[in-house]
């Protein structure tokens, strides 16, 4: 297992090197454009740099805020390397000096001559740091080794600390807390400063200053400040709104980052195992360690059984280090347990550890880009180039017309006459036209479009926490919406993980409540008993008579009960806590361990006494490849017992005998072997997990004597004696069947990949709907891991799509299945909880680790953590992923409609008359509605059931669908037509002939502005449901949307009624308000009628592509 983990870690050491560029190119290199990055996971740095350079960006600090800072990432790697080398260099220098003098190497740390000791502890924090940082074994031995250190720290190596709050506080005061200083998040003023760095806003501020100076000079301060001042104020409002939105967004990410770092781990306090936050651990704590755990602080090994630690996170080397209490007891914070199990004594915490120093230096989150974010940068760049071109055309047309004297004022007089117009007026006219052109660029370049992704992701991530999903990587959230298949574990994900022992088979008893076919299956000499949730037997029979007390151990043959208790107590990573003042026993461990330990307790097991009766000399931790775990024990009479526990049908093959009711060892013949196999099959068919408990004697003289030989000793796996087969019930979660059906309706295939017996897997798959009926119980729907593993790669590719259930699979089988599915074009989500699941989680498009049963190694290899280990929560993640994509599409449709309409209106008006109906301030207000407020309103829509009745969105499908093109073109065409008619014929249509020219001009332009804004507000409702008739469905549940719409309406009323000078508007009469509202309202029935127009499934761009391909074919030969 350590070797497997090592291989995975080697793959993960350098940024994505393990998966190789070959794999990356399979997903991504098909797109030749810089923005065609369909998978940012492990993307090469040159690809990431390429799209950044290709993007048209007005404000780089804001646009790239949530993308990976490539420069800082490189600096971070260099800093990590320096910190990793620090301790190694010190130790190497001392070793080199000692070797040069020809002396025996013995490193002794410098300990403070007068250490500062706080409290009544026998050792100071400085002394502990000196020992642990330099791994000073000689100094450790001088203070009494691990035991002496525990005494000085007033800690019990077996029972740990007392859970007394006063003691814990005093330890934090004396030795520090297990936290490290973190860099403060950006302040609000930092976001204001970044918003000010927008290139176009800076240009507008310069133009505003010029306009202000010219206006005051020509018209005086009382009237002359309006033009320049209003632009400056509009820019300021845009900056403030942008900063507030960005600041709130950053706070959400900050909270989520803190949640990700808050690891929960077990500690032993008062002899009891309890879960605490890693930040709450103190010096002196005793921490149980098992495979996949993260070492929470610097410490010493108290007990270790085949304990192997991966120290690559600190040393940079992927070498696995074996630890024991005497020779190599030092553990470094942040490292991972690669193999074995044991307990550790915490000696240094927080900033006193090298890991703490490392984390304090790199605690700032540098962000990451998501595929959708990259694609939207491409969209924004294309739109921006078009907008920039339009702005240049508008500016040139306006300037040519102005200086040729073709631009007229409202009274029909030329605004510029050569030789007569003053230089100041000419410059002022130029500044106004230049300002309009720059404002067109502000509106045209959708700077907020890529940022809308992070906005909706931040919102979704916060809401997903409530749905029991913690997103570790932004990209996973959106990728989950494209998932086409989910490879799920069985235990704890599809099932409750609340197992209880329900049946037990041995050759000693028959406990009742069985059907005749079960008795026949087990044979007349085999016996079975049932234990239900409360671990009580309903009815029991032995030797042909009824047994009234089946939990009475005196009814078992003495040898069997003794061996069972011995094996149950020692061959476990769980524990049984007995409260000192009496009360119910507390059993801890994995659900399977807890069920078996509870059964042992019911049979009279004294956990502590049973563990003290023998000494563990060698362990073989449970291995998901071999499906078993074992150990060798040395008893007080020097006898050596080897115990194995694991998959029943696999261990049964290694058994050569069993113990009968007379305590006699009987050889296992074919008949008895067949009976046991039938018993296992029958239990598995009832969805029971079958676990065999076996043992054998081993010759004392053959046990290795040296530590080195003992480390390499392989426990004997043959000639085992069968003690029992237990059937453990792990019920299917009640909500899973509906969740699986929801996935099926959504076009997402659910596959079960489990290490359990294939028959057990089939029973659960039928129960939760992965297999529809017994007709589906045949190959290739079901397969065993070894059979899939033995296929050729071509055969695996053909088979992968058809597999629904894979039983008795190893982690490598899961990895092979994921690779095959991805090569078939699937977007694969994988659930996992064990250390060996890390490669499959890493390989998958979306890795989902289990929050309760998952190891830290599995969680770090995943992109999403399912906090309640429930498959229904996985389905909720799919809903949220689809919601992210749908919300972005809503925002794109809305924003492009505004872009097309605003640009067309101003371009046509500028070319035809030399004037633009929408001035700079008005355009900035439209930009605020379209950008910041529009994103908040549309990018935060909650997911609906409608999303789960659609097929997964392909990662290479166009962002703007045919439906979106239809909707936006209809709305934009309507707005452009109506508003241009008003621009050219508004005076006569509105009957304004009786008004003065200046008044009529302002009324007409104010109506155009008001109608245009109201069109956008009404169209925001349409954008909520691009493909549904009822755009108001669920409206009242979205309070944010309602609030933003209300704010936009109120601000528009204020602009029209009270800020005429500011926005160059005049007050409108009730009739003109009704006209404006009527123009906006028409967009609703128009949208409904538009949705009756059918659109082809094939994207219209594909027709152009096909045509261009056909044109290239002849020349290409």
Tokens of 887: 């919300």
Place of tokens 């355009």: 923
Q: Strand pairing of 720-729 and 688-698?
A: antiparallel
- The full DSSP string for 840-901 is HHHHSSEEEEETTT--HHHHHH-SEEETT--HHHHHHHHHHHHHHHHHHHHHHHHHHHHHHH
- The full DSSP string for 481-546 is GG--EEEE-STTTTB-S--EEEEEEESS-B-S---HHHHHHH-TT-EEE---TT---S-EEETTEE
The reply to whether omega before 12 is within 30° of 0 (cis) is no
**Nearest C-alpha neighbor of 828 from the set 869, 788, 863:** 863
Tokens of 221: 């301060």
Rounded CA separation 543/850 (Å): 46
Find out whether 286 and 155 touch, Cβ atoms under 8 Å. yes
Q: 658 forms bridges with which residues in the sheet?
A: 666, 722
Give me the helices (H) in 945-1038, please: 962-989, 997-1024
Rounded CA separation 78/70 (Å): 13
Find out whether 331 and 301 touch, Cβ atoms under 8 Å. yes
Tokens of 158: 């077996």
Q: 779: left (phi > 0), else alpha (psi -120 to 50), else beta?
A: beta
DSSP classification of residue 927:
H
Q: Which of 27, 293, 339, 489 is labelled catalytic?
A: 489
Query: What is the distance, to the nearest Å, from the Cα of residue 762 to the centroid of all Cα atoms in its chain?
Result: 30
Active-site residue, 671 included: no
Expressed in angstroms, the distance from the first to the final Cα of the chain is 55
Find out whether 914 and 402 touch, Cβ atoms under 8 Å. yes
Find out whether 282 and 175 touch, Cβ atoms under 8 Å. yes
Q: Which long-range contacts (CB under 8 A, 24 or more apart) does 551-558 make?
A: 551/602, 551/603, 551/604, 553/603, 553/604, 555/509, 556/508, 556/509, 556/603, 557/508, 557/659, 557/661, 557/662, 557/663, 558/663
What stretch of H or E contains 78? helix 70-100
DSSP classification of residue 945:
G
Find out whether 378 and 50 touch, Cβ atoms under 8 Å. no
Active site residues: 489
């Amino acid at each position: 297992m350590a070797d497997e983990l090592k291989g995975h870690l080697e793959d993960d050491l350098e940024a994505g090197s393990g998966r190789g560029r070959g794999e990356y190119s399979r997903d991504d290199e098909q797109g030749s454009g810089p923005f065609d990055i369909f998978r940012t996971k492990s993307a090469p740095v040159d690809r990431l740099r390429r799209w950044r350079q290709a993007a048209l960006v007005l404000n780089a600090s804001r646009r790239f805020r949530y993308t990976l800072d490539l420069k800082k990432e490189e600096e971070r790697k260099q800093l990590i390397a320096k910190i990793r080398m620090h301790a190694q260099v010190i130790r190497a220098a001392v070793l080199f000096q000692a070797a040069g003098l020809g002396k025996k190497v013995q490193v002794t740390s410098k300990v403070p001559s007068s250490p500062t000791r706080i409290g009544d502890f026998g050792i100071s924090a400085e002394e502990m740091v000196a020992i642990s940082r330099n791994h000073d074994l000689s100094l450790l031995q001088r203070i009494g080794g691990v035991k002496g250190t525990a005494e000085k720290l007033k800690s019990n190596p077996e029972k740990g600390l007392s859970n007394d709050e006063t003691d814990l506080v005093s330890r934090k005061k004396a030795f520090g807390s297990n936290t490290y200083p973190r860099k403060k998040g950006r302040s609000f003023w930092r976001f204001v400063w970044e918003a000010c760095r927008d290139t176009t806003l800076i240009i507008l501020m310069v133009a505003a200053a010029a306009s202000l100076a010219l206006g005051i000079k020509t018209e005086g301060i009382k009237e002359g400040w309006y033009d320049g001042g209003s632009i400056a104020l509009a820019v300021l409002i845009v900056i403030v709104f942008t900063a507030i939105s960005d600041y709130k967004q950053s706070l959400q990410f900050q909270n989520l980052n803190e949640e990700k770092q808050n690891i929960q781990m077990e500690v032993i306090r008062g002899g009891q195992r309890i879960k605490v936050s890693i930040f709450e651990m103190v010096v002196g704590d005793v921490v149980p360690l098992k495979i996949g755990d993260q070492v929470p602080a610097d410490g010493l090994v108290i007990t270790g059984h085949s304990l192997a630690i991966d120290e690559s996170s600190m040393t940079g080397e992927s070498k696995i280090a074996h630890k024991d209490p005497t020779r190599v007891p030092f553990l470094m914070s942040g490292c991972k347990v690669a193999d074995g199990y044991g307990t550790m004594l915490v000696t240094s915490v927080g900033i006193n550890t090298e890991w703490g120093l490392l984390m304090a230096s790199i605690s700032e989150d540098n962000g990451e880009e998501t595929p959708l974010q990259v694609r939207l940068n491409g969209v924004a760049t294309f739109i921006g180039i078009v907008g920039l071109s339009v702005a240049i055309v508008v500016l040139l047309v306006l300037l040519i017309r102005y200086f040729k004297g073709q631009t007229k004022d409202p009274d029909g007089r030329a605004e510029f006459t050569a030789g007569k117009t003053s230089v100041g007026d000419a410059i002022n006219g130029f500044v106004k036209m230049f300002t309009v052109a720059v404002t067109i660029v502000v509106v045209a370049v959708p700077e907020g479009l890529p940022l809308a992704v992070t906005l909706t992701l931040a919102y979704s991530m916060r809401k997903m926490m409530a749905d029991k999903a913690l997103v570790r990587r932004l990209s996973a959230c959106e990728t989950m919406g494209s998932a086409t298949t989910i490879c799920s574990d069985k235990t704890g994900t599809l099932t409750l993980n609340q197992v209880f022992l329900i049946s037990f088979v041995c050759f000693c008893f028959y406990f009742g409540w069985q059907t005749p076919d079960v008795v026949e299956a087990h044979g007349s000499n085999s016996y079975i008993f049932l234990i239900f949730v409360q671990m009580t037997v309903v009815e029991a029979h032995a030797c042909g008579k009824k047994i009234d007390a089946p939990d009475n151990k005196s009814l078992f043959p003495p040898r069997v009960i003794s061996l069972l208790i011995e094996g149950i107590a020692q061959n476990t990573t769980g524990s049984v806590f007995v409260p000192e003042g009496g009360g119910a026993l507390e059993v801890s461990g994995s659900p399977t361990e807890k069920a078996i330990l509870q059964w042992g307790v019911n049979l009279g097991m004294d956990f502590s006494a049973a563990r003290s009766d023998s000494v563990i000399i060698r362990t073989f931790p449970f291995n998901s490849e071999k499906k078993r775990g074992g150990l060798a024990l040395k008893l007080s009479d020097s006898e050596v017992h080897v115990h194995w526990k694991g998959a029943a049908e696999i261990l049964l093959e290694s058994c050569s005998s069993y113990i009968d009711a007379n305590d006699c060892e009987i050889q296992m013949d074919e008949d008895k072997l067949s009976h046991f196999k039938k018993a296992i099959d029958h239990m598995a068919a009832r969805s029971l997990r079958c676990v065999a408990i076996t043992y054998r004697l081993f010759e004392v003289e053959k046990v290795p004597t040296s530590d080195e030989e003992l480390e390499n000793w392989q426990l004997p796996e043959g000639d085992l004696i069968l003690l029992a087969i237990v059937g453990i019930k792990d019920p299917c979660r009640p909500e899973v069947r509906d969740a699986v059906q929801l996935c099926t309706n959504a076009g997402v295939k659910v596959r079960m990949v489990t290490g359990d017996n294939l028959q057990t897997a089939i029973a659960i798959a039928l129960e939760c709907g992965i297999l529809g009926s017994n007709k589906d119980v045949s190959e290739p729907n079901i397969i065993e891991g070894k059979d899939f593993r033995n296929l050729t790669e071509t055969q695996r590719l053909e088979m992968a799509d058809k597999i629904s259930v894979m039983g008795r699979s190893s982690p490598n089988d899961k990895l092979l299945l994921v690779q095959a599915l991805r090569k078939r074009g699937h977007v694969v989500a994988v659930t996992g909880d064990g250390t060996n699941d890390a490669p499959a989680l890493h390989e998958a498009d979306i890795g989902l680790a289990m929050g309760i049963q998952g190891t830290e190694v599995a969680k770090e290899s995943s992109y999403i953590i399912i906090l309640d280990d429930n498959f229904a929560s996985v389905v909720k993640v799919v809903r949220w992923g689809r919601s992210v994509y749908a919300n972005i599409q809503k925002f794109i449709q809305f924003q492009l409609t505004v872009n097309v309409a605003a640009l067309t209106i101003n371009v046509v008006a500028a070319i035809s008359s030399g004037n633009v109906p929408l001035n700079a301030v008005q355009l900035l207000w439209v930009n605020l509605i379209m950008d910041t407020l529009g994103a908040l309103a549309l990018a935060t829509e909650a997911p609906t059931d409608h999303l789960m009745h659609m097929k997964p969105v392909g990662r290479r499908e166009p962002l703007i669908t045919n439906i979106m093109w239809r909707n936006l073109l209809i709305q934009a065409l309507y707005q452009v037509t109506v508003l241009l008619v008003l621009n050219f014929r508004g005076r006569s249509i509105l009957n304004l002939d009786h008004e003065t020219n200046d008044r009529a001009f302002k009324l007409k332009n104010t109506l155009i502005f008001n109608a245009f804004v109201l069109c956008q507000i009404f169209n925001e409702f349409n954008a909520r449901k691009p493909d549904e008739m009822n755009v108001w469905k669920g409206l009242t549940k979205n309070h944010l949307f309602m609030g933003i719409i209300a704010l936009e309406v109120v601000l528009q009323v204020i602009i029209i009624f009270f800020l005429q000078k500011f926005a160059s508007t005049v007050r409108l009469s009730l009739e003109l308000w009704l006209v404006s509202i009527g123009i906006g309202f028409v967009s609703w029935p128009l949208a409904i009628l538009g949705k009756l127009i059918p659109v082809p499934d094939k994207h219209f761009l594909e027709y152009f592509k096909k045509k261009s391909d056909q044109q290239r074919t002849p020349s290409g030969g």
